[in-house]
């Protein structure tokens, strides 16, 4: 340990010496104002030549939380912020301070105080120094001087593994970095910039790397924002509860207006200030955390960064959308007794927070755009899907329970009775262990038993039957009624319809399952959380997947149900195998689907095509 401490002291001394030498050569570092008008010569050059290069060659790796060294090149703010050696995705024993661009600091200087280092020159602003003291230029030049063969297979010298150790150089230590990592030039592991691209980047950097902020909104965009903000910020308790529900489900989406010819994207946020005043964003770890203000306002802001496919969840706003929300949440006959608070045991559980909004209304809201919300499970608050995706199959179908199949009062009563069994990991902070698995397994078993009894009672009373009519048909118009998920390692796509050959598995999602997965993977997931939070999320998602699959298998003939599930889970983890064996008898609810012939394993999905 003593030698390790001496080594750290040695490195710190070397770093301090390098900084001092740079100060003597190029002047002390100081953040620069790089924003110019779009109509200026420098602004036009950035917009016409530099931004396309960054978007086409850089942003795919440097545009999300998994950007190497947190260097985001998708916006002027991210470029100016620079890099950090702190890895967002990591196994840590205590939660980390969030470093979300546009949220957790508002100025470049504030990011410097959080440990971010510049990639642009922040010393004397001369042509030569802008290159010599600019890390971005040095990385581009390193690649130009040592390009890889464009048609060759990359060697093991290039590490693209998700858990690779990142080396995040500063300009003061770049010479040493270049000697140790001669293949680390940018774009890493990809062909170098063309001569034309390199020359344009060099010209831009020599000139001080001037950039353009977002262009002003046009009159139509302003009018659209005013309309939705007015709708979401009405004073009644009913409207405020509706707006909270809508925000907690749409905060991760990119809104766009149907009548916007430019099709710009926008983000729904919480603000301390009402419409008509400058936005004062409320920044919390999760969208349901306490805002520390008496009144929350919901505001729409222009998305400030280049959109990446891996985080892009588009959601259309138009007059029909607002009318639908009005009909569902406001015109419906129900009362809001009291607005819920933000205590974690309340806010983290949607069945508690939104109990005053009838279940079928919440369910219809989700089903209206089921593809968007299923897509959120994959993209949501993260941009590396392995946490959510390594618990699902490579190809499966998703269908939903009709929101009007069972009585709304009965569903509401049932969910209220099951509050304890439906609690999510984000409601508590505890160490993930075998005890956590056992606790949630017990809760899930209790929930399955209760659901089985409730459905049996409904069937006995002849108030409803569980058959193919239980599956939502989209009211014959909504194409979200059936979805297909394709997964490739930690990437996945959600498309409408039952696409491809019959998959091995399928899910039937009811409201309670839909809501829990959203609050598990989207609203309640914290990428800056500790390893316990990550493990518990991964573990709980196993239960959610199994529940969706059990729901589907319940529509199969009784003699085939457990056999099918056993086939799916052959060779599974011993805890999952034990869990399935212990609960199989009471997990399947009774159904009245009439089959004309024996179902064989590879073709039993045909029942869905009859819906």
pLDDT in tens, 490-519: 678 899 999 988 888 899 999 999 999 999
pLDDT tops 80 at residue 560: yes
Residue 462's pLDDT band (cuts 50, 70, 90):
low
Pick from 311, 342, 373: which residue ends a domain? 342
pLDDT at 34 over 80: yes
Residue 606, pLDDT > 90, answer no
Q: State whether 499 and 557 are in the same domain.
A: yes
Mean of the per-residue pLDDT values of the chain? 87
Residue 206 shares a structural domain with residue 224: no
Coil, helix or strand at residue 281: strand
**Is 248:522 a contact under the CB 8 Å cutoff?**
no
pLDDT of 38 > 60? The answer is: yes
Together in a domain, 387 and 478: yes
pLDDT recorded at residue 384? 66
145 vs 174: CA distance, rounded Å: 15
- Residue 80, pLDDT > 70, answer yes
Question: Which range, of 197-206, 341-350, 524-533, averages the lowest pLDDT?
Answer: 524-533
pLDDT for the residue 285: 94
On whether residue 10 sits in a domain, the answer given is no
- pLDDT, residue 402, reads 92
Asked whether residue 583 is assigned to any structural domain, the reply reads yes
**Domain match, 277 and 153 both:** no
581: pLDDT confidence band, cut at 50, 70 and 90? confident
**Strand ranges in 482-595 using DSSP code E only, listed in sequence order:** 482-488, 491-496, 505-509
Its domain, for residue 292, covers 214-342
When pLDDT is cut at 50, 70 and 90, the band that residue 3 belongs to is: very low
Flag whether 20 is in a domain: no
Same domain? For 197 and 231 the reply is no
Q: Are residue 242 and residue 326 in the same domain, yes or no?
A: yes
Is the distance from CB of 64 to CB of 311 less than 8 angstroms?
A: yes
pLDDT of residue 569: 84
Phi, psi of 163 (to 5 degrees): -100, 20
Number of domains in the chain: 3
Torsion over CA of 582, 587, 590 and 592, rounded to 10 degrees? -110
269 and 176 belong to one structural domain: no
Q: Is the pLDDT of residue 224 over 60?
A: yes
Residues ≥6 apart with Cβ < 8 Å to 56: none
Q: Given this model, what pLDDT does residue 468 score?
A: 85
Can you tell me the mean pLDDT for 422-442? 74
Residues 105 and 334: beta-carbon distance below 8 Å: no
* Residues 542-566, mean pLDDT to the nearest whole number: 87
Q: Which of 312, 342, 372 is the last residue of a domain?
A: 342
- Residue where a domain stops, chosen among 212, 234, 252: 212
pTM (2 decimals)?
0.91
């Amino acid at each position: 340990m003593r030698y390790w401490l001496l080594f750290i002291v040695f490195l710190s001394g070397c770093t301090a010496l390098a900084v001092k030498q740079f100060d003597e050569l190029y002047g002390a570092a100081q953040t620069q104002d790089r924003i110019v008008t779009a109509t200026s010569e420098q602004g036009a050059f950035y917009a016409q030549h530099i931004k396309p290069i960054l978007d086409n060659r850089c942003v795919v790796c440097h545009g999300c939380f998994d950007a190497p060294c947190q260097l985001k090149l998708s916006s002027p703010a991210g470029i100016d912020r620079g890099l950090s050696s702190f890895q967002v995705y990591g196994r840590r024993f205590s939660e980390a301070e969030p470093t979300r661009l546009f949220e957790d600091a508002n100025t470049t200087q504030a990011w410097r105080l959080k440990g971010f280092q510049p990639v642009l020159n922040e010393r004397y602003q001369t042509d030569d120094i802008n290159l010599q003291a600019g890390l971005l230029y040095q990385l581009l030049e390193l690649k130009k001087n040592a390009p890889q063969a464009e048609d060759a297979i990359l060697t093991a010298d290039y590490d693209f593994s998700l858990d690779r150790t990142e080396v995040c150089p500063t300009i003061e230590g770049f010479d040493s970095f270049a000697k140790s990592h001669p293949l680390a030039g940018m774009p890493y592991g990809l062909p170098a910039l063309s001569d034309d691209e390199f020359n344009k980047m060099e010209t831009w950097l020599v000139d001080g790397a001037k950039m353009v902020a977002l262009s002003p909104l046009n009159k139509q965009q302003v009018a659209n924002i005013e309309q939705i903000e007015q709708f979401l910020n009405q004073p009644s308790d009913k409207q405020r509860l509706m707006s909270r529900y809508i925000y907690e489900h749409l905060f991760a989406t990119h809104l766009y207006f149907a009548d916007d010819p430019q099709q710009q994207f926008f983000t729904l946020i919480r603000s301390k200030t009402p419409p008509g005043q400058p936005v004062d964003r409320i920044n919390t770890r999760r969208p349901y955390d306490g805002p520390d203000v008496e009144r929350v306002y919901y505001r729409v802001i222009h998305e400030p960064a280049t959109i990446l496919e891996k985080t892009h969840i588009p959601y259309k706003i138009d007059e029909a959308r607002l009318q639908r929300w009005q009909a569902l949440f406001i015109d419906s006959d129900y009362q809001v007794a009291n607005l819920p608070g933000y205590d974690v045991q309340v806010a983290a559980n949607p069945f508690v927070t939104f109990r005053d909004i009838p279940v079928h209304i919440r369910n219809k809201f989700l089903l209206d755009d089921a593809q968007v919300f299923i897509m959120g499970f994959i993209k949501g608050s993260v941009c590396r899907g392995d946490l959510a995706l390594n618990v699902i199959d490579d190809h499966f179908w998703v269908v939903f329970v009709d929101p009007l199949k069972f009585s709304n009062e009965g569903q509401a009563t049932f969910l209220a009775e099951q509050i304890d069994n439906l609690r999510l990991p984000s409601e508590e902070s505890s160490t993930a262990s075998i005890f956590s698995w056992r606790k949630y397994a017990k809760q899930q078993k209790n929930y399955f038993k209760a659901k089985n009894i409730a459905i049996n009672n409904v069937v006995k009373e002849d108030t409803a039957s569980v058959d193919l009519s239980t599956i939502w048909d989209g009211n014959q118009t909504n194409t979200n009624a059936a979805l297909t998920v394709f997964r490739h390692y930690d990437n996945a796509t959600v498309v409408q319809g039952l696409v491809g050959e019959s998959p091995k598995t399928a899910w039937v999602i009811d409201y309670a399952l839909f809501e829990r997965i959203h609050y598990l993977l989207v609203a309640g997931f914290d990428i800056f959380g500790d390893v316990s939070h990550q493990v518990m999320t991964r573990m709980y998602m196993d239960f959610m997947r199994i529940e969706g699959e059990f729901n589907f298998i319940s529509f199969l003939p009784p003699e085939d149900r457990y056999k099918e599930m056993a086939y799916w889970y052959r060779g599974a983890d011993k805890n999952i195998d034990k869990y399935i064996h212990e609960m199989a008898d009471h997990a399947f609810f009774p159904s009245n689907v009439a089959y004309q012939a024996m179902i064989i394993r590879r073709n039993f999905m045909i029942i869905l095509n009859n819906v």
